[in-house]
Structures are given as C-alpha cells and as structure tokens.
Structure 1
C-alpha cells in the first residue's frame, strides 16, 4: 500500500490530493493543512471588498469534507514541523491543542509539497500595527472586509496584481485611496508603459492618489485610530493600510534538502518531481517552466497551481504527462 503525504492544501494541494485519489483510489493519502479551510480563492478578496461576491462561501470550491469523501485522511489545523527525506517521515502536531500538543510522525512513500507562499513582510518600523493588514488568506479577507465596512480611507502598499485590484475596489466603493509603490508605474512588473499609462490614468480618474517611485520607511499609529504611512517622499494617513508587496515560497521545511531557486521555490522537472526521488512540488511552493525565457521561474498564480496539482496525480507513479510550461 502506497502512502502519500500532502503538505499544504490551497489550490495545488487540493488538486494534487483529488488527482492522486482519482488515479490511485487504493493509495492512502494524508493531507496536512494549518488552516481550518482549504481551496480559498484569494484572488476574490478584492471582489468581496467591492461587494461583487454574493456569498463568501463561493470563494471556496472544495472542503475538508469533500476531500475526505474522495478518500483522503485529513489533518486540518495541523502543523508539519519536520520532514526527513532520508527516513521518509514527517513530524506534525495539532494546532488545536496549543503548545502542549504532542508531536506525531508519519512514514510516507511519496511526498507532495504544496505549502504555497507567504506574504513578504519587510522589516519596516511599525509594520506590526493593527491597522496594517495582509491580503492572502481567509482570515486576512475577513479582517479587510470588516474594516472596509466603515473605513473611509486606505493606503495600499504595492501595485502588483493584488494591490492594484484592491485599490481599484476601494476606489469604486467610496474609500479614499492612496496607492504606494517603489516602482514608478502601477503594475510595472506585469505590463509595458503603454498599458500602465492607461492604468495610471484610470486610477486618477477614480480619485486614487498615486504615490509611485517611493519606498515606505515607517508606519506609525495615531490617537484617532488611523495609521500614517511614511515614505521617502511623503506621509499618507488613513484608517487602514494594506500590505501587498509580493510573496515568497513557504518552503523552509525543505531548505537544504532539495534544489531551490534563491528565493526558496522548489525546482521541479516537467513531471513535478523535485531533485530527490518520490518528492513532488506544485503551486506557489514550486517553480514553473517559463516558456518565453526557457528558464525555471517563480510565478505564483492559481492557474499554474491548479495545472501543476493535477499533474502530480498523473505523474506520481510514472512520469506520464509533461507540464506545458507557463
């Protein structure tokens, strides 16, 4: 009997687990997830804030119960604390029972690392302010939605996909918005100037203050329940600040054990296999093969995660279907 351990269960983990069980219904698949939910579409946070989501439950397309029904053994609210590739064991403990929870071990034949990504939190003074919110998981979504119900002003730091989208939704729901970025154009890493000029003009038409080409150097809380975002060139005060300056792979468990890019993304081949046999990775914890450059790259998007997760199931026994590249 083959035992598979899947660590992490957002998009890549959900699709990896279901595809493995579909291909190998007789295998034992253990799924480990720190959160109490899985399959959360974080790309829907901005839409929910902008009142375009009729029911927040629609931002989930699967559940622990659905995966259990498909045959997985679920370990929700569980932290994997160690992975030993030599002995093929993982160590884990329940987060429900606090710090006193005993550690347990599981032996595996195949390991699937779908631990996803975490928001970049730069070491800026005051960044731990309760008014500075992250924008990644379900808990973050609830916090932003709650604050957005009454807030009349916001500063968004980072004008990539997430920052640009949330600034847009704030601006169309009457929240006075400032968009801050170290680069001199919004969406500068995604589009050429021809496009970003149009984006900048649309933001300005909607009353968004563009504070571009300036890095944040400090946050400080004020007595009136606001936060001031201090940059190299100015100060912007609002009722909340959203930090959206990028993501890093959540792969500390495997550090030094498999080949990674300098940022920690696990390098996988065409069949989602890492540099160590029987170890697979997919989604935000892994590289994609980027067709325009012919190189392994880090592009953390749900589309890539879903495709890669599906391929884990197809390839986990025998290399069968190649990733088509991104």
Structure 2
C-alpha cells in the first residue's frame, strides 16, 4: 500500500475565515476569500479576476506561491498588497539581504508590502470588504490565503507514526512504521542531505522521486532514495533567485559551526556582452568539516 494523499492548505485562525461546511474544495463562507491548492481553486480565482468588481487584492503569505501570485495579479492590473508576519518575503529560503532585494523588486513594480503584520480579521457583507492586521486595515475585494500547507494524513487514523508536523514518517525506502505501507510526496517526510536529518520539504520534484522509490520497494525491488537538498528557485519580474541546502541562519540553528562567503561576478566571460548578468553567490559551509 502506498499513501499518496498529498497536502491541504493551512486554514489560519483569523476571525472571519471559515470554510463552508463539507467543502472539499476549500471554499470559504465569505465570498472572495480564496485558497490556492486545487485546479478548481485556480480556475475560480482566474474567473473572478476577469470581473470588473475585483480591483484590490490582498495576498496573505509571502512565500513562493504568495510572491508569484502577487506578480500575476499586478500584471493583470490589480492593486496588490502582499502581507506576511515575517519581516521580508521568501523568509527562510534565502539570506535576508537576498530576500530584501526581491522585496525591493516587488515594490519597484507597484506591489504594496505589509511585512511584519499579523492578520487579525477579514470582514464583509457576504463578500470580502476589509482586511485588518495588528497595524493597519486594508480595503480589499479579494483575499488570497497562501500561508502554507499541511500533510493530509488523516486517512491512517493514527495507525502510522507521524513526523512533528503530521507527515508520515518514512525511511529511505519510503516505508512507514507499518511494514509494507509506503508514503510519498507531500504527505511524507524526506531525508535532507544538507541538515543530515529527516525533514519535510513539499516539492513536486520530491514527489516524483519518492514515488519511484516507493514503487520499486512495493514491487519487491529494494531501492533507497538518495535524499534531497531542498533545491528551489523563483523568477519575478526578471529577478532570479535560486537556493540549495541551508542558509547560514538555518545551519547555525541546527548546530553547525557555520560561516558563509559571498562572491559576485559576471555570469559569462567579459567578452560576451549579450545577456551577461551580474551574479552574486552565498556559500554556507561547516568550519569543522570543511563541507559546503
């Protein structure tokens, strides 16, 4: 048996945010509060954005999905406010100064930033009208809630060991605590080579790889996964950011005696003039083991 039950959007504890009873498509009671997990959710948002009544959009959550949606809505001519409790966007994915460069990029393209704010309430008469944080209030026509996902593991009914965030805890063969039962993708853990520990990294690439590993083992062909580095990337208004492994802050929080070095240079040799962009690298390494 292989669990491939994926994940579901986190429904934040915010006054005014409540799912419709028995809704399996994450539909909120107050119209134009939107989640972005399913194909149907995306179609609903696209159709509503074509409605002339939607001009002001607030995106709550400045991770990858939130930042990409903010750009998409702005390109459609909407008045966009990006809100996050963290002090910058893409928090945890990059060093703060890299994240700040992306924040400045968003701001330069007309996206309003409301970082370091906690959403307390969303109000409206049948439809969304106002979003209230601990620092300000915003008139809005639509609110996108992109505050993350949680593993969908309720099907096991407590019979399988879980990770601290509720994901199925698996070994390198994707096998759970129950012999012959495997789990893959967003509902399962992975082994993080950078931190050298079990982790939860919900990426499509990990879902594909863990699926292959589980299928081999379920069919009797012993195969261990090679682990992951959490590699990811994003391109917003032509600004590209990519990362793999751990930031300095994350490495230090996990007990590594870590430092970082920074280096900037052109992407190609100087004699190549076209599309030869300046690139800045940050490399985090463990001083004790001299590993990068």
User: TM-score, structure 2 length as denominator?
Assistant: 0.71
Pairing 1:178–2:78 present: no
Distance 2:39 2:214 in 1: 25
From 144, 163, 166, the equivalent of 2:45 is 144
Secondary structure, in 3 states, of the residue corresponding to 1:169? helix
Distance 2:157 2:138 in 1: 39
Pairing 1:246–2:138 present: no
From 106, 120, 135, the equivalent of 1:217 is 120
Partner of 1:325: 227
Pairing 1:234–2:161 present: no
Distance 2:177 2:196 in 1: 19
Distance 1:174 1:208 in 2: 11
- Structure with the higher helix share, 1 or 2: 1
Distance 2:192 2:129 in 1: 40
Tell me by how many angstroms 1:323 deviates.
Answer: 0.9
Partner of 2:61: 158
Tell me by how many angstroms 1:289 deviates.
Answer: 0.6
Secondary structure, in 3 states, of the residue corresponding to 1:219? strand
Tell me by how many angstroms 1:319 deviates.
Answer: 5.1
Structure 1: unaligned runs, 5 residues or longer = 1-110
Distance 1:211 1:144 in 2: 22
From 99, 108, 117, the equivalent of 2:7 is 117
Aligned length: 215
Higher relative contact order (CA 8 A, sep 6+): 1
Distance 1:210 1:231 in 2: 13
Distance 1:205 1:222 in 2: 34
Distance 2:190 2:199 in 1: 5
User: TM-score, structure 1 length as denominator?
Assistant: 0.64
Moved segments of 4+, more than 4 Å: none
Aligned Cα RMSD in Å? 1.3
> Are the equivalent residues in 2 in contact too, given 1:249–1:286 (CA < 8 A)?
yes
- Alignment deviations for residues 113-154 of structure 1 (CA, whole Å, 9 cap, x no partner): 110000000221111321210001011111111111122220
Pairing 1:307–2:223 present: no
- Alignment deviations for residues 267-303 of structure 1 (CA, whole Å, 9 cap, x no partner): 1111111111110000000001111111111111111
- Which residues of 2 match residues 66-81 of structure 1 at below 5 A? none
- Alignment deviations for residues 173-231 of structure 1 (CA, whole Å, 9 cap, x no partner): 211100000101100121111211111011101111100001110000158x5421110
Distance 1:317 1:286 in 2: 19
Distance 2:102 2:125 in 1: 32
Distance 1:319 1:192 in 2: 41
Partner of 2:182: 280
